Chains A and B, each alone.
Chain A
């Protein structure tokens, strides 16, 4: 029999997290800080709208690019939050989570051999999606001394004639880093000069603990060269509803709709009705959750300081990325021993790129009580090292 598999797929490494997942399940009484989704339930009024939509029999496909009402709300929301204007008719596409939008944007824009700049440590799917789209991924290793922000110099060091897209993953998973207006202004210059497009993954935009999230599309000249991705998972605690969206120039969105139409048809209808409610009446829920995350973030930062675990102060998402370099172990070894000796599961930084070596990702999408219990274990582990 012939080899049934495509080399391109076989060559892609499976996610580093999966390996750990199998180990942790065999350890009884283990507690985990490895989750990348909110611990809150979806606010009830949002779930309620989902349920109503089912009761009313809204069980059909929506238009390929999404429910008109939802696209209008997305445009209102981006206008309210970022001060930019998108047309609900041809500049918005509702997707199955932000993840689908990442895949679609890359596939719609990449020609074979194009290069995609991917800053790491970052979410696990950019690199494989770029490869699947036929691009050559070029990794930019973000530095701790820059608080894992992306600088114009770093872009210039990696840009070539073939570079077409820059992935901009801020607020960042796993580091919690953000890009402030001045950071974005300085990279925007290079992006325009080198004629690049930007795939800006802003799924954690609502979870910013300084003033407010700034998007690259707010910087003059960037709106027309950016696909801005966001979604409902993190802001409204709606991970299981699988709903995200992309906004951008209509020429690009049009082509993304084509792939989406043939691969997915449309995003889940129930989720879309619930999402309308989230955008209309969900601001207070988001504020409540943000405040809670912020308390936990400060709590962890203080705990790390107390146990001598160096960590820059992250201002976004719900992750901390402390350095474990001084213990003379690899991230993988640290995480494995922490799990075996103290039954505490964290994700090694290397799951998010090679340059995550020397760091671990700790999620604070857990109740304060859970975090306290976990910190006792982490403290016990680090003091005996």
Chain B
């Protein structure tokens, strides 16, 4: 019986790991691991496999913004409908419903500052239920998904210890 949580933790760290390697590391056989992965995908627990890229090290320009959005919830459907309205834009990478001072946290990716600004002014703000937007631009990514982007691991241990 493949341990679900252990399997998930393993691919959360490295989604490119092969099924045969996973099977060895979990002490299971390949067929069971493959079936469990399939089940996790079917159940929508595994929703996708992403690559973490530090775009700032490439020649491709990307501007990331984080927008705090206050909205008026609608009777019967709460925040779902407005969230759906917002997440349908392809430039929106994440949408979260938040507790606290605002309602939706919208993460956005654009090529230029102007493009992001235009999205906020022309698309997001004019939406009926949107009361206010407060846009923050990301200046530097230090750590993402548990990985430190600004520094490489350096093994400073002695070469030999008993």
Contact = CB atoms under 8 A, between A and B. Distances in A.
Q: Is B truly associated with A?
A: yes
Interface in B1-38: 6, 9-10, 21, 24-27
A308 B96 CA distance: 52
A291 B5 CA distance: 11
Interface in A23-47: 24-25, 30, 32, 34-37, 39
A281 B157 CA distance: 26
Given A291-B6, A291-B9, A295-B10, A17 B161 contact: yes
B25 A295 contact: yes
Contacts of B21: 299
B159 interface: yes
A298 B24 contact: yes
Contact of B157 (A20, A35, A351): A35
Contacts of A295: 10, 25-26
A372 to B, nearest CB: 9
A232 to B, nearest CB: 16
A345 B159 contact: yes
B24 A34 contact: no
A36 B158 CA distance: 9
Nearest to B161: A36
A297 to B, nearest CB: 9
A160 interface: no
A21 interface: yes
Contacts of A18: 160
Contacts of A302: 24
A123 B162 contact: yes
B25 A347 contact: no
A378 B7 CA distance: 28
Given A291-B6, A291-B9, A295-B10, A25 B25 contact: no
Nearest to B21: A299
Interface centre among B6, B24, B160, B161 (most CB of A within 10 A): B160
B162 A298 contact: no
B43 interface: no
B25 A124 contact: no
A79 interface: no
A15 interface: yes
Interface of B: 6, 9-10, 21, 24-27, 153, 155, 157-162
13 contacts: A20-B160, A24-B160, A30-B159, A32-B159, A32-B160, A34-B159, A34-B160, A34-B161, A39-B157, A124-B162, A291-B6, A302-B24, A367-B153
Interface of A: 15, 17-18, 20-21, 24-25, 30, 32, 34-37, 39, 123-125, 173, 291, 295-296, 298-299, 302, 345, 347, 351, 367
